[in-house]
Chains A and B, each alone.
Chain A
């Protein structure tokens, strides 16, 4: 934002001044550091979720073609199964505009991807079917009950999530399939990079609770104080 206000054309004509300005603006130099939190999560090296789901899938009795589903299933990346989010512990937080682009919870190779999907309250999530068979996505979770019925590959259904909370999503046909949608009250959430690093910035100063969600559950939760212009470091070890 600050760079934009300075004007690209003006800076571009003076490269040395532009470089110096960029360096000064980097949070590490502390002059215009963003209020936020960063850190690293450490999780088991193996992907126990994909392993469990594939084992369950192999034991499915009433679905043919189980061994001919095409490409091998890739393990879940860390960004598909972990979320770090902040919740304000103070008075009612501000209202935020949900994204115009709909996040997706895919049905692919008879699994949901991602395993955990964080969204801002008010967001509409799309559920595309990428398999050559039916799924029946549903949830009876309190924040949002829905049953999308059966629809073929290439089609999608959408659900609007207007209440915060944890929404457990299942398939009525393939009982082992599950995913979690975290409907959050503010946009201060992030999925970690593959190396475990994460960074949530532009957070208004105040008292928060930071939570590490991994797979099916909340793994760790702790209070954190976000101070003006400072980046707090919080690491999580599963």
Chain B
């Protein structure tokens, strides 16, 4: 959970409202055209939440600890043009009433009867095992795993680190390690053979800073440096209910044309993000387990003297106690390496800094869910957050009550 307005996802801000309306109008038109032929599937997930966080100084303290209501709407509009060509889209709106276009892709299925599928446009990035859990109805918690939520001290727009300035360090003002729901403009090819499934993707940005990332210098959606990001993923399902997966992503993540040089005479396009992850999905009877571990490097060594590394994990278990009644537990943590760098301290001068480039964090979440109906879920979630290697662990636990309906 963050205090920010989901900057990791493409957003059509105030200047983009008219475009957003055009998108909605386009989808509405599409719905009229295709609904007549029975080709369109429109569905929504709407949720309303009450959130009360502790009032500590932390990026996890939603609304700075002031109790607040919030809502979210996800609109899915998918069309089957024919048996092999599809249009897929997700639109998401929060209480700020800005429309975020998450997914906007054309899918070609079973290319030349090879079993291969191709998606192009704004695609869901094939990294990790988040899957349907990114949507409120399939997510027993309020937020995503910490890897997708924690805002680091590293900014992609001006190449700055803010580890020595508590405002930026703990409040968070940089990129996430994985950019929330993980969507970007690009293309992906995927398919399966036997127990194996694979994905290959090329995209404008990187998993920590997609091309639609909107902080700093805004977002055009277009590629902001001279190379593309790449993702490969392989998963195997040796038994029904057991899937082991691994993903690797690499590519430049900095935006060219930022305000500051990354340092050392290094071109921004030479600074890459490399991230590798492994995951496990297991389910049987009324239990399900999702686990993920990853290791991430941003290659800043030549520029500032140290690479920026992060290690993270997430383990989520859920159990259906009775029909309608669900219990879930999730633990996740992030660890960051020590650096010795010359960096900006929040002003306009360089300062030498030695220490962790971000603060290690741990989050334990517990959730109870009750299904009023097949398509209506009530949740109560408690997040217990801990921040390490800081003088004082900020009070930033969070209580959320959320109602979700799908229709």
Which residues of A come within 8 Å of B, CB atoms?
Answer: 51-52, 55-56, 58-59, 61-62, 64-68, 132-134, 138-140, 145-147, 149-153, 168, 170
Contact = CB atoms under 8 A, between A and B. Distances in A.
Contact of B373 (A55, A64, A134, A140): A140
Interface string B107-139: 001100001000000001000000110000000
A51 B83 CA distance: 11
A145 B192 CA distance: 36
A194 B39 CA distance: 28
A213 to B, nearest CB: 20
A170 B240 contact: no
Interface in B273-302: 283-286, 288
29 contacts: A55-B38, A55-B41, A55-B80, A56-B41, A58-B86, A61-B88, A61-B124, A64-B190, A64-B192, A65-B197, A66-B109, A68-B115, A68-B192, A132-B240, A134-B240, A134-B241, A138-B323, A140-B371, A140-B373, A140-B374, A149-B285, A150-B283, A150-B285, A150-B288, A151-B284, A152-B240, A152-B241, A153-B240, A168-B374
B21 interface: no
Interface in B126-172: 131-132
Closest 4 CB pairs of A and B: A149-B285, A147-B323, A149-B286, A152-B240
B316 interface: no
B78 interface: yes
A59 B324 contact: no
A149 B239 CA distance: 16
A166 to B, nearest CB: 14
Contacts of B371: 140
Given A55-B38, A67-B109, 11 more contacts: A55-B39, A56-B41, A59-B78, A67-B110, A134-B240, A138-B323, A140-B373, A147-B324, A151-B284, A152-B241, A153-B240
A6 to B, nearest CB: 52
A64 B197 contact: yes
Contacts of B109: 58, 66-67
B176 to A, nearest CB: 22
B320 interface: yes
A67 B86 contact: no
B136 to A, nearest CB: 14
Given A147-B320, A150-B241, A152-B241, A62 B131 contact: yes
Interface in B189-226: 190, 192, 197
A58 B80 contact: yes
Contacts of A149: 284-286, 320
Interface of B: 38-39, 41, 78, 80, 83, 86, 88, 109-110, 115, 124, 131-132, 190, 192, 197, 239-241, 283-286, 288, 320, 322-324, 371, 373-374
A193 to B, nearest CB: 28
A58 B83 contact: yes
A49 to B, nearest CB: 12
A87 to B, nearest CB: 26
B114 to A, nearest CB: 10
Contacts of A151: 284-285
A222 B124 CA distance: 52
Nearest to B321: A147
Contacts of B124: 61
B296 to A, nearest CB: 25
Given A58-B109, A62-B132, A68-B192, A140 B115 contact: no
B286 A147 contact: yes
Contacts of B39: 55
A134 B241 CA distance: 7
Contacts of B192: 64-65, 68
A67 B115 contact: yes
Contacts of A59: 41, 78, 80, 86, 88
A144 B190 CA distance: 41
A68 to B, nearest CB: 6
A152 B283 CA distance: 10
A147 B88 CA distance: 31
